[in-house]
């Protein structure tokens, strides 16, 4: 059966591009490449039967398409997603946010909120009618720490990790507390405000993205952490739009 054979998922984000082999049942393998360094498609010739591509970097979309062996399904609000889109400016919605909405609705149900810890942190809302209705965008965790490093003379670039204490005994420790614990405060406040919106009181909250595990670990409002949620959404979009 054609749907049982592997297909390719491509998720182009500002920092990294993810390539994944998948079939109708699951994601089989994932390779991440810095987006600026994409020069070829991983996996070689593995007999894929189709491709779905989501991109938030327009200049990279054509470059990656030129490397693909066949035409791909391009994710946008104009295709059959399996969820509705009730949003006044549909072309402004990133493909990753649409994929997150599809993935959360399919795997966890609705109403739902997805918190995606990427280059930016995004909050995407799907209502009980399985419609994407909007969200929130805030600076990403790495951009906050990089800003301090770039704009101050004495603060170093740090590696993010769980602080050992809430009182820093070094510059690095103090920065780590401000970043990780402070960022949790930002996320909690936005989530609490969203859950006060009509129809969202019982929303399931799912975290994904590069820092999802680190930040979500101590945020009790978050119900699930799924680092593959965006790719799962792309997988479901492919299955809905591929030829039978």
Distance separating alpha carbons of residues 242 and 166, to the nearest angstrom:
51
Q: Which residue is listed with tokens 């994601």?
A: 27
Cis geometry, peptide bond prior to residue 47 (ω within 30 degrees of 0): no
Which is the catalytic residue, given 96, 116, 223, 243? Answer: 96
Asked if 116 is an active-site residue, the reply is no
Q: Tokens in use for 118?
A: 């990427």
Rounded Cα distance, 117 and 142, in Å: 10
Q: List the structure tokens of 42.
A: 């991983």
Cα 136 to Cα 133: distance, rounded to the nearest angstrom:
11
As given in the structure block, the two tokens for residue 89 are: 């400016």
Let me know if 70 is exposed, middle or buried by CB neighbors in 10 A (0-12, 13-18, 19+): exposed
- Which sequence positions are flagged as catalytic? 96
């Amino acid at each position: 059966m054609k749907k049982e054979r592997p297909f390719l998922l491509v998720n182009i984000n500002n920092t990294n591009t993810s390539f994944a082999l998948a079939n109708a049942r699951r994601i089989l393998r994932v390779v991440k490449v810095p987006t600026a360094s994409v020069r070829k498609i991983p996996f070689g010739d593995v007999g894929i039967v189709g491709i779905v591509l989501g991109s938030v970097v327009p200049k990279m979309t054509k470059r990656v398409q030129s490397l693909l062996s066949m035409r791909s399904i391009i994710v946008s609000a104009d295709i059959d997603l399996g969820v509705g889109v009730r949003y006044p400016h549909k072309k402004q919605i990133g493909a990753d946010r649409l994929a997150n909405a599809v993935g959360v609705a399919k795997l966890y149900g609705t109403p739902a909120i997805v918190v995606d810890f990427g280059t930016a942190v995004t909050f995407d809302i799907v209502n009980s009618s399985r419609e994407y209705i909007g969200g929130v965008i805030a600076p990403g965790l790495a951009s906050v720490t990089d800003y301090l490093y770039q704009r101050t003379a004495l603060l170093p670039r740090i590696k993010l990790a769980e602080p050992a204490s809430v009182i820093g005994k070094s510059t690095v420790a103090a920065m780590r507390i401000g970043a990780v614990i402070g960022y949790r405060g930002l996320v909690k406040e936005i989530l609490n405000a969203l859950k006060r919106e009509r129809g969202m009181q019982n929303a399931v909250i799912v975290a994904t993205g590069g820092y999802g595990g680190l930040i979500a670990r101590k945020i009790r409002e978050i119900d699930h952490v799924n680092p593959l949620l965006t790719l799962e959404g792309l997988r479901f979009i492919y299955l809905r739009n591929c030829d039978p």
